[in-house]
């Protein structure tokens, strides 16, 4: 899995996934008095963008991109962004699900990254799913976006807000089974 020339380098474990953010929106729980029904906005239009996100819980860092589609081209751009975020001299093992564009023959994997596919139907093994839940609950739910640009701006603001708090990334995405031993 890890190339021979990378076996003597420090190893970082990264987790990656994509989330659709858009006008259709997400409802989240809100505090309300028992017996009441709080009002919440929800759009029925379909414009959306995809937030590609990856985190390294050990270092509390992440790499994200907002793309118009979730496809091989978007993942290639995201892999290049992740490669720039890996600590210099280290090698990253990137854990991701088995989406079609994750296994495409047109995928360009940078030399400082090795891919590790999760088993099918196991989203609970990818802590980035919890990152999406956290971002939706705190920054992306109950919103109306008039344009595609407004969606992109909201995604960027939410991701940058998350990245500014490394302890939050570590708290949400750390897993006892995903540690590097010397």
Say if 18 falls within a structural domain: yes
Q: What pLDDT, in 10s, does the model give residues 56-80?
A: 999 999 999 999 999 999 999 999 9
CA distances from 106 to 26, 32, 46, 112, 158 (A): 32, 49, 29, 18, 30
Average pLDDT for 159-168:
98
DSSP 3-state assignment of 43?
coil
Report pLDDT for 64.
98
Residue (of 137, 131, 168, 151) closest to 54 by Cα position: 131
| Weakest mean pLDDT among 38-47, 68-77, 91-100, 114-123 | 38-47
Q: Which residue has the tokens 């309300």?
A: 32
DSSP 3-state assignment of 49?
strand
Say if 32 falls within a structural domain: no
CATH of the domain at 163: 3.30.420.10
Say if 34 falls within a structural domain: no
Say if 75 falls within a structural domain: yes
Q: Where in the sequence is the domain holding 104, given as residue range(s)? A: 8-26+41-173
DSSP 3-state assignment of 159?
helix
Say if 67 falls within a structural domain: yes
> CA torsion angle for 120, 122, 128, 130 (degrees, to 10)?
150
Number of domains in the chain: 1
Say if 36 falls within a structural domain: no
Say if 13 falls within a structural domain: yes
Residue 181 pLDDT greater than 70, yes or no: no
């Amino acid at each position: 899995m890890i190339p021979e020339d990378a076996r003597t380098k420090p190893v970082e474990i990264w987790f990656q996934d994509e989330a659709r953010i858009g006008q259709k929106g997400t409802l989240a729980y809100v505090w309300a008095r028992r017996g009441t029904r709080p009002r919440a906005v929800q759009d029925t239009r379909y414009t959306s963008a995809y937030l590609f996100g990856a985190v390294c819980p050990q270092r509390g860092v992440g790499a994200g991109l907002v793309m118009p589609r979730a496809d091989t081209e978007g993942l290639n751009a995201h892999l290049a962004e992740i490669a720039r975020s890996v600590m210099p001299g280290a090698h990253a093992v990137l854990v991701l699900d088995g989406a079609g564009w994750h296994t495409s023959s047109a995928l360009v994997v940078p030399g400082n990254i090795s891919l590790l596919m999760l088993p099918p139907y196991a989203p609970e093994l990818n802590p980035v799913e919890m990152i999406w839940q956290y971002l939706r609950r705190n920054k992306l739910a109950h919103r109306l976006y008039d344009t595609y640009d407004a969606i992109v701006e909201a995604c960027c603001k939410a991701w940058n807000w998350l990245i500014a708090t490394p302890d939050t990334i570590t708290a949400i995405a750390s897993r006892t089974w995903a540690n590097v031993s010397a």
